[in-house]
Amino acid sequence: MRDPTEAARRQRLAEINGQSCDRAALEARYGRVWDTRELAQDYLVIGFAAPLVVVRRKADGVRGSLEFQHQPRYYFHFQPH
């Protein structure tokens, strides 16, 4: 099965992980940042397709996506769907 998003996701994955940032740098660029524990408190994870994770926000049920970097693992740039 062909994934039409694969090329774009691979490119973004290389961009994110090629220049992994610390939390402060990610917050300056994207606003709110979550580590894995914080993510689990605020969101229900529906699925992964690196560098994206599809989530449902627990506070209001809004579905959306976050980007994430591998090392250190941070989630950021929430976009509602």
pLDDT digits over 14-44, tens only? 999 888 899 999 999 999 999 999 999 999 9
Element (H, E) at 81: none
What's the pLDDT score for residue 1? 79
Cα gap 7→26, rounded to integer Å:
24
What's the pLDDT score for residue 50? 92
Strands 33-34 and 43-49 come out as: unpaired
pTM of the model: 0.91
What's the pLDDT score for residue 2? 86
The token duo for 40 is 């689990």
What mean pLDDT comes out for the span 60-80? 97
Cα gap 12→34, rounded to integer Å:
19
